[in-house]
Structure 1
Amino acid sequence: MYAIVDIETTGGKYNEEGITEIAIYKYDGHKVVDQFISLINPEREIQPFVVNLTGINSSMLRNAPKFYELAKRIVEITENCILVAHNAQFDYRILCTEFKRLGFDYERKTLCTVELSKDLIPGQKSYSLGKLVRAVGIPVTDRHRASGDALATVKLFKLLIDKDTSKTIIQKSIRLNPKYQLEPRHIDIIEGLPSITGVYYIHQEDGEIIYIGKSKNIKKRINQHFTGTNPKSKKIQALVTAVTFEATGSELVALLKESEEIKRNKPILNRALRRTSFTHALYSFVDENDYINLKIDIADHRKKPITTFSNRQSGKSFIEKAIEDYTLCQKLTGVYKTKTSCFNYDIKTCEGACIQEELPEHYNRRVSVLIEKNSYKNKNMVIVDNGRDIDERSAILIENGVFKGLGFFNLNYQINNIDVLESIITPMNNNRDTQHIIQSYLRRNKRLKVIEINS
């Protein structure tokens, strides 16, 4: 017997979420034999993004029953059942947390339809519930509401049972407890960590750092390491005895510190990050007709790029947006291979640089603006971002196109005065990785405060 579950929550900090809606369909392998659907008053705030996603708001839940009023019914309908959910680890954890608040140990065997789908319906672009059920032709209504998602999971599970012709895959996937149950020592480590942005250091017994990472939520990220099943996570789980951290407030500061700390300490489990963090770059050259051409290409450390990208797709997306924003020619940006005019010229969105109809100086002016905006070559500037406290800001200093270091300040005069600014900056190494980190962050965060300074 199976209890197919979907839960909607308030969102918020890990293990502090509350349930706003629950749907359980008791399924005997052929048909639904019982069901339970209810809104729940979580007695806590619902995150705004969750309200937008589910449509469930606090006023809808004001008169809804509280969890303790429904707990007995949930226990009864799931008794002697295997709990089935799309991402069972999440739904089961939320249920266990709610029961733990009532002083009750809730324990069920679990089955995850994400895990089963990867085995039985391989090769899908996405295994999110919405995209997966659409891909296999399962109708879904009331998406992101418990009843709609649980019913879609019932239909998906029915399909998975049919596909498991050997009747062994589902049996092997049943878990007695949460799939990745934390050890007591891991729980103790997590409880001592904050949910803040910063860099964290994972130590083994002799104090040696075995892994360095960054996160916008250190506690959540360490929990992911402790519950992961990939080889790196398993090594961390086996070796970890302590986790230390440094608050940064700013994700950019965290990225820069992480990169430098990995290069300095060379932790045994950071080997993949020792390699350059970008694969493609944007280059420019002037053709025989005096037009500046742009090209996304594999990063070549012998050449000086305008900016760099983590992968080819990121570079491709950048150049496609640049064509639109700066009215550039598809041919001169390497997007449209042709010996004549580009496609955009035919639809009147290219000024004709591809066939020398637009003068080079006019076209090159727009290309130069793009290059200037996406390269800090020869620039003197300070990037201002979040600090570690509410009244503090971080400052990343660039002098003559070279990353000099970073620091924290409380008063604006500290960054408007170059001598004072240099005194609060901690020097750091400038290299291709730091350039990539800064340029990528500036591209993603358009509203970031950047102050040009006079050296």
Structure 2
Amino acid sequence: MLRNAPKFYEVAKRIVEITEDCILVAHNAQFDYRILRTEFKRLGFGYKRKTICTVELSKSLIPGQPSYSLGKLARALGIPVTDRHRASGDAMATVKLFKMLLNKDLEKHIIKDAVRAEPKFQMEPNLKQIINELPNETGVYYIHNDKGDIIYIGKSNNIKNRISQHFSSTSPKSKKIQLQTASVTYEKTGSELVALLKENQEIKKNKPLFNRALRRTIFTYALYSFVDDNGYINLKIDKADGRKTAITTFSNRQSAKSFMHKAVEDYNLCQKLTGLYPTKTNCFNYTIKQCEGACIQQETTESYNSRVESLIQKNSYSNLNMIIIDKGRDIDERSAILIKNGIFKGLGFFDLNYQITNSDVLESIITPMENNRDSQHIIQAYLRKNKRIKTVIF
């Protein structure tokens, strides 16, 4: 959609002209106004306009609404919205809402009081300075209070943008972080997988004040296998249970089911024996000749089980010795994640000119890390998502 759209500098002059001596009206005005000012600042132009926020006005003039998002508010007030989440559709809905608010403002507070030169939220100068010193790169970041304690740990593919979001958000949690932030440190990783593993370990180790959610286990469902009375290997999605050995784990039930549907297609498995089609007879795929008939014992157990075992081997690194090689922090560097006997041992970085000849050499560059169910889940989920990532079995 944006391929042939004009660049901002090409329309900047026109924006200045059409907004001259005008008040900008927007739903969540501080966001739109901040974007405009940022873009003009990049062009070296100080853009200033007065603004009116229809979110704040709606809360004042139409109290008690369950939601003040534009879509839900428009539906509640009977305002027709066409082309939702597109500029023209949202703008026209905001115009209609603003007209309604002007009518409801019997005391004329909109005209007298609601106009302001700047949005209410102003980023503190020290937070701006912190953002300016951060890189636009993948890694783990640590937010510290004035005592140096870590109050939040996160990972991002763009550290600078992510911290900027923390410091410009008006959510209750973000406001608390903003008030307590004294500095931000970071560690570049290059690889998203390395960042995820480091974030997981650092949160569990440091237990930062504002990372409550990630202190808990990050997956809830798992894939298990069992052999039925007829000798066929069955697969089953169930709630994760640390007492059982899982083939792989998932963040939620929906992602587990999506994985299973794709597995049935890729490995020509039976819907009944994978728990996707509960039945006492044959599965639906057998009816349309896309199942070999394991559901009614027409396919041999050896033939069917070999395909199930291929799936299990592909998605479980149990008892495997392997290295996962991913991006490094620089062009001439790579990251290495070591799995030994199916156990995550740690990670490190190596120069492309540095030849890894055996596992002993590799282990010398690896920083040991704790193997836990969360780290296993992170690695398995990353390998499922990034099928072209390089793995070396040794």
Partner in structure 2 of residue 73 of structure 1: 17
Say whether 1:271 aligns with 2:228.
Answer: no
The within-5 A match list for 1:173-188 is 177-178=118-119, 180-188=121-129
Distance of 1:122 and 1:90 partners within structure 2: 18
Distance of 2:164 and 2:174 partners within structure 1: 10
Partner in structure 2 of residue 150 of structure 1: 87
Distance 1:335 1:165, change over 3 A: farther
Partner in structure 2 of residue 340 of structure 1: 281
The within-5 A match list for 1:214-233 is 214-233=155-174
Instruction: Write the letter of the residue equivalent to 2:308.
Output: V
On the 8 A contact 2:345/2:371 being kept in 1, the answer is yes
Partner in structure 2 of residue 4 of structure 1: none
Identity %: 58
On the 8 A contact 1:99/1:106 being kept in 2, the answer is no
Selected match of 2:343 from 381, 385, 402: 402
Distance of 1:201 and 1:290 partners within structure 2: 52
Partner in structure 2 of residue 393 of structure 1: 334
On the 8 A contact 2:328/2:334 being kept in 1, the answer is yes
Number of residues of Structure 1 aligned to a counterpart in Structure 2: 379
Distance 1:81 1:401, change over 3 A: same
Cα displacement string for residues 232-264 of structure 1 (whole angstroms, at most 9, x for unaligned residues): 212211100000001110010011111111111
On the 8 A contact 1:278/1:309 being kept in 2, the answer is yes
Cα displacement string for residues 260-289 of structure 1 (whole angstroms, at most 9, x for unaligned residues): 111111111112111001011111111111
> 410-419 or 265-274, which moves further after superposition?
410-419
Distance 1:97 1:161, change over 3 A: closer
Q: Mark the runs of 5 or more structure 2 residues left unpaired by the alignment.
A: none
Selected match of 1:106 from 23, 48, 52: 48
Distance 1:68 1:158, change over 3 A: closer
The within-5 A match list for 1:130-141 is 138-140=81-83
Say whether 1:84 aligns with 2:26.
Answer: yes
Distance of 2:248 and 2:159 partners within structure 1: 29
Cα displacement string for residues 87-126 of structure 1 (whole angstroms, at most 9, x for unaligned residues): 755542332124333442413314378x989x979599x9
Instruction: Write the letter of the residue equivalent to 2:195.
Output: A
Partner in structure 2 of residue 207 of structure 1: 148
Distance of 2:262 and 2:12 partners within structure 1: 52
On the 8 A contact 1:96/1:106 being kept in 2, the answer is yes
Partner in structure 1 of residue 291 of structure 2: 350
Distance 1:161 1:352, change over 3 A: farther
> TM-score under structure 1 normalisation?
0.75
SS of structure 2 residue aligned to 1:389: coil
> TM-score under structure 2 normalisation?
0.86
Q: Mark the runs of 5 or more structure 1 residues left unpaired by the alignment.
A: 1-52
Q: What's the Cα RMSD here?
A: 3.3
Instruction: Write the letter of the residue equivalent to 1:294.
Output: L
Distance 1:167 1:445, change over 3 A: farther
Distance of 2:261 and 2:323 partners within structure 1: 29
